[in-house]
Structure 1
Amino acid sequence: MKPLIILLSSFIISIFIIKIIKKDYDFALSARIAMSIMLVFTAIGHFAFTKGMSMMIPKFIPFKEGFVYLTGIFEILLALGLLIPKFKIVSGWTLIIFLLLMLPANIYASINNVNYQKGTFDGHGITYLWFRIPLQIFFIIWTYVSTIRV
């Protein structure tokens, strides 16, 4: 829920700041700025909740903590790429693929009741997916519309 709030509030603030600076609305740029802010916010979670996020990764995958750090850095790089006009399309497609690849970790975490913030197995469980899957689809559509379809 927090990433969605960050995304939408950043979008609204960006719309007005860009209107003041450029004297015109630029919804695609505002959407990319908002997605970048949200990605940095979620990337911070990779460093603050490493133990819990590593619990979201299936047991057969090695080096879980390193993988969590790596994906956090990757999210920051994607956030930067969305803001650089030359890289926005490739960053957009990469982010879409990344979001699709992360969905199985969210499903695994829900099935195993992972609470990534506490690093425990008392999470929301499978009901979390009723929110998370539509949210992931929303993020994918948001990225597509603001980077590729523009």
Structure 2
Amino acid sequence: MIVLLVLLTAFGIALLALKAITKVWNPWLSGCIAMCVMLCFTAMGHFVYLEGMQMMLPEAVPFKRELIILTGLLEIAGGIGLLFQRYRRWAAILLIIFFVLVLPANIYAALHHIDYQNATTGGKGPGYLWLRVPLQLVLIGWVWFFGLRANRTSQAN
């Protein structure tokens, strides 16, 4: 999946760039930078594919357009929050909650074959969930590891 590729590539680049600049390996900050880059990348979809993203929500959900825009902005804010030690813990907690709360929209989209990029019902279908659900767990684990666990470890030192 492209999201995982963006996350891992950004991590590698951040790790090498921070080492070149500070002369110290900093995987903790690199992990937060990578998640911020990935979240900004995925947030773009909320604005570029607004119509298709609205299709990912059941008919009963009101204010779909506003909700999609809001969640895109929340992704960006959460990613930026990870970059600052002062806000990292709260950003990580809120992002974990966010990842849990958006999973039903991904499940709904898969069950209804939503192709959000083309705003059609010609999407990948339920088989997509075999990749999406584990990816969501990876994202939650990443935020926990680099945002919460690492934050606690660095404060103890």
Q: CA deviation at 1:21?
A: 1.1
Alignment root-mean-square deviation, CA: 0.6
Structure 1 residues 90-144: Cα deviation after superposition (integer angstroms, max 9, x where no partner):
0001000000000000000000000000000000000000000000000000000
CA distance, structure 1, for counterparts of residue 26 and residue 79 of structure 2: 18
CA distance, structure 1, for counterparts of residue 69 and residue 143 of structure 2: 23
CA distance, structure 2, for counterparts of residue 43 and residue 131 of structure 1: 19
Structure 1 residues 3-41: Cα deviation after superposition (integer angstroms, max 9, x where no partner):
111100000001100111111111110000000000000
Q: CA deviation at 1:2?
A: 1.3
Percent identity between matched residues is 43
Show structure 1 runs of 4+ deviating over 6 A.
none
Report the TM-score when normalising by structure 2.
0.94
Amino acid at match of 1:27: P
Match of 2:133 in 1: 133
Match of 2:72 in 1: 72
1:86 aligns with 2:86: yes
Figure out how many residues of one structure are paired with residues of the other and give that number: 150
Match of 2:122 in 1: 122
CA distance, structure 1, for counterparts of residue 55 and residue 28 of structure 2: 35
CA distance, structure 2, for counterparts of residue 39 and residue 144 of structure 1: 15
Match of 2:3 in 1: 3
Match of 1:105 in 2: 105
Report the TM-score when normalising by structure 1.
0.99
